[in-house]
Amino acid sequence: MNLDDVRALIRDVPDFPKPGIVFKDITPVLQHGLAFRTLIDAFADRYADTQIDQIVGIESRGFLLASALAYRMGVGLALVRKPKKLPFQSVRVEYALEYGTDALEMHVDAVRPHQNVLIVDDVLATGGTAAAAGKLVRELGGRVVGYGFFIELGFLGGRTKLPDEAIFSAVVY
């Protein structure tokens, strides 16, 4: 199995979560053991020569990918969540949406100074969420060494909002 086979399992769901949106449903990939392994192995291969101390997963589907990758690479896992979801002292960053703002939080001890951090999420769309996660990592003194995404919606230009760190997208639309 290869990434083209994995891509073929992604299901389009029209008009979700609202009319006019075509949602890229990754659950068929997660349900297919070999496809999920192929995806995680692709991430691990891409970053095999990169010194990574910690993987940061972005809520919520990013947790699924980040946890499997952290296990595969033998490194720690830290979580970036929506506000008021973390039980311990947190740092927070607000970021702009098309209409309004949102925020993300991370525990103050999730990343230590000088740690090399890979940020992982399921989809790179407009780039705001990933850029905010990178800001949190840097605020805690970590170094972002890359961003990894299962799916990139290239037509939305999210890549342009991220710094020059290595960006890997397993599937690009």
Residues designated catalytic: 61, 98
Q: Could you tell me the strand order of the sheet in which 76-80 lies? A: 76-80, 54-58, 116-124, 143-152, 166-172
Q: Considering Cα of 40, then 42, then 47, then 49, what sign does the dihedral take?
A: positive
Helices and strands (H, E) in the chain, number of each type: 5, 9
**CA–CA gap between residue 92 and residue 12 (Å, rounded):** 33
**CA–CA gap between residue 144 and residue 115 (Å, rounded):** 8
CB 58 within 8 A of CB 80: yes
**55 forms bridges with which residues in the sheet?**
77, 118
**CA–CA gap between residue 44 and residue 23 (Å, rounded):** 26
Which tokens hold the place of 85?
């979801």
